[in-house]
Structure formats: C-alpha cells, structure tokens
Amino acid sequence: MTEDLTTHVEGPTGRIRLNRPKAIHALTTAMCEGILEALEAWRADDAVRCVLIDHADGRGFCAGGDIRMLAASGAKDGGEARQFFHTEYRMNHRLFTYVKPTIAFMDGITMGGGVGISQPCRYRIATENTRLAMPETGIGLFPDVGGGWYLSRLPDRIGQYLALTGHRLGGAECLALGLATHFLPAAALEEAKQRIAGGEAVETVLTDLSADPGEARILTHREDIARLFALDRLEEVFAALEGDDGAFAAETLATLKTKSPQTMKVSLKLLKDGAGMQDFADEMRQEYAVGSRVVQRHDFLEGVRAVIVDKDNAPRWDPATPEGVSDHVIDQIFAPLPADEEWTPG
C-alpha cells in the first residue's frame, strides 16, 4: 500500500480515499494497485455492501495520471508508462464490472484518470465545484481510461466536442449529460458519506440530499455541436467551423488550433470505434495498444514540455496541421499489439 491512498472499512462501507493533495491526487501505479487490492479484498466480504471513493484535502477529486513519469518513460523505452496504463486500465475495468454498488464523489477537478475512476461507478456525485474534463489533446494524448466508451455514448456529438477541445464541464452539465447521477451541494457531502457508512441505503441518502444544479450551459450549444462535429474526419470538423460565422464556432476553432492534430485524429477514431464496442474490456484493450504507442511519439513529449515542464504553452506539433497526419500513421497507432503484449483484464 502507498501513503498516497488510504483504504479501510467503515460500517458496511469500503472506503477508498485518494491522498496525494499536492498533485491534486493524480494517480500513480501504486495507487491503482492499492485500489485493485481493496476491491479484490472486499469483493467476497459479505460485511462490505458498497464502496465509497473520495479524496482527501485539495482542489479536486483527481487531476489525472502521473504525466511527468509517463513523459520520462516515453522518452526512453516506454516500459514504466506501459506498466502504469496496464494497471490503471485493470482498475478501470474492475470498477466497471464490480457487482457491489460503487459511489464516486467528484468534488472539484475531475480529469483524465479521475474520469476513469468515477465513470464506471454506479453512483457519480457532482457538486458546484465539479470541473470534469478530458483535456489530453492539449498535451498530445487522447481521452483514455474508457473515454472512447463514455464519450461516444453522449448525445449529439457532445462527446466528440469534449474529446477534441478538452472543455471543462460543471456539475450541472455533468448531471444533464448523465456523467453524474446526482448533484449535491459540497456542504452536504460529509453528511452523505457518514449516512452511507452508517448503513443507510445509498439511493435514499443521495435523493434526500440532492439539490437543483441550475442551468446546464453546454446544452445551449447542443445544436451547434451536433452540426459542427457531425463528421469523423478532423479536416471536415475544421471546415465546418471555418465555414460558420458564429461566435461559438470561432471560439471552438481557436481552441482546436492549440491542440495536437495527431491526437485529435486519434480521439475521433477512438470514439468512432468505441461506439460499436460491445465489451468494455475490448475498449481497454484498444486504448492500451494506442496509449503504448502515443506515449512515445513526439507530440506527447512536446506537449508535456510545453504545458507542464517549461509552461510556455507553445507546443510545436508535428505534423502541425490535420492534413499532415496521414491515415497510415493513425492505422499504425491503432494496430493490435502482439498477443503476448496486449492488455488483459487480469
């Protein structure tokens, strides 16, 4: 076990708490292993009726994965990065298939790996502080941890919009899109946790404490998003945005011009494939093959340099335009791994 994660049983409830506040609880391999161990220990324990996942102090639930480690590994042989992805995706899959009710409290920043932990849970609690996003294309990555599954199932191409732009959703938007099952005021979370740990029915507690989240602003752009992101070729998305004289299209186009063309194309294919996946394990298997390659490509290493290391926010993408990213490169990135290297559920 790692000090970055605490697990214990309280009443009939298994408690998992992310405890890496200085990194907004970004996941390490050891944290993912700890979550897997706890879930396995409680799986056959009749005294544990549900599992509650939250975070210790800090600005959010989980900001993602250990990006600096991934970049350092990707600059070498990629082995440590592949080990992280393999373990993280096993954790994602275990949560997705877990029989006992799971409850994630998405208070504050919930991005990347935090989305991967929360979305498989049966109950997903948003608050007025929730900021949920998959911002990976801004650092030359793609929305993994099941992003191809969850985002492709959102209505009106909103998933494609979120995958490419990295737009941050508030709590009301998460509830409206089904990414959250309940909206609670942050001030009510401690009571909710105590009552659940005290043995009250999860559904009863969350319904009792639910509040009106207010307007889901993204829905005001629903028709625009459906029209502008209707097609799965990045060049056609750019053409649609360029041909629209509205302020939303102009703002969105400006955002996309800052993202990695290569991983925007990867993201669109991931969602197109993900929409047809019948088994979440197949999604994880494909994302692992893609991730194991993308983490060693130029755009990821350059994106981390620009956004996280040097913080100049001026990445030099290569290729620099959608037209420069060939279908052949995308096919190489998505090629299945050899049988002895591919991801397995465990």
Among 34, 58, 64, 65, the one annotated catalytic: 65
Helix (H) or strand (E) segment spanning residue 15:
strand 13-18
Both structure tokens of 21: 């506040």
Among 4, 144, 287, 299, the one annotated catalytic: 144
164 touches 143 (CB < 8 A): no
Among 4, 88, 136, 173, the one annotated catalytic: 136
H runs (alpha helix) in 44-146: 67-74, 79-97, 113-118
Q: Is residue 113 flagged as an active site residue?
A: yes
Q: Is residue 136 flagged as an active site residue?
A: yes
What does DSSP assign to residue 135?
Answer: -
Among 113, 116, 170, 303, the one annotated catalytic: 113
Of 32, 5, 34, 36, which is closest to residue 346 (Cα–Cα)?
36
Sheet holding 60-62, edge to edge: 60-62, 109-111, 131-133
Phi first, then psi, for residue 9 (nearest 5°) are: -105, 130
Distance of alpha carbon 116 from its chain centroid, rounded?
Answer: 5
284 touches 92 (CB < 8 A): yes
Q: Is residue 148 flagged as an active site residue?
A: no
Q: Is residue 65 flagged as an active site residue?
A: yes
**How far is residue 98 from each of residues 17, 40, 42, 53, measured CA to CA in Å?**
18, 10, 10, 13
Q: Please list, in sequence order, all residues whose beta carbon lies within 8 angstroms of the beta carbon of residue 3, skipping any fewer than 6 positions away.
A: 19
SS3 280: helix
Residues labelled catalytic? 65, 113, 136, 144
